[in-house]
Amino acid sequence: MHWLRNVMLLKHRKSGMLLSLKAVKEQWEPELFLAQLCEIEATHRQEVRLKRLLKESQLPIGKQLSQYDFSEVVGISAVQVKRKASELSWLRQGHNILLFGASGLGKTHIAAALGYALIEQSVRVKFTTGTAMAHQMFNLLRLCIKTRGHHSIR
């Protein structure tokens, strides 16, 4: 099993040992054994990737599309949001989604739920609020002015 670590396979030694014992006991062909090892590794890597994407996304916790009541708002439907979550051509074209509306309508809920659905498809997501984005832009502007020798904004 040491050679598997050298080729970046099998992060979990115990899984490999258990699988090798099963393969010997059931007299598997080598191809089946290697296919099963690769499946274990691929599953593990996907789980690690999804955990990393979720952490990096900074999404609010516990927001799912199934929990949102679309009958409470005008201008957006469950079908539209689910389509954005499943048909990713808009992402490949470099488009973004911006949600606008009065306070309390569920913009954060919809955005987070869409983000979770995209992460499940291994899409990198970054959640932020309008206020946080404005602060970042202001700080960048202040930094640019400062580095050019002008007076800083206060």
Distance CA 52, CA 119 (A): 10
Domain boundaries, the chain: 2-57, 65-127
pLDDT computed for residue 115 by the predictor: 93
pLDDT computed for residue 6 by the predictor: 52
User: HSE-up of 16 (CA within 13 Å, CB side)?
Assistant: 15
Token pair in block for residue 61: 């916790």
pLDDT computed for residue 2 by the predictor: 55
Token pair in block for residue 134: 């404005």
Distance CA 116, CA 50 (A): 10
Q: Which residues of the chain have pLDDT under 50?
A: 152
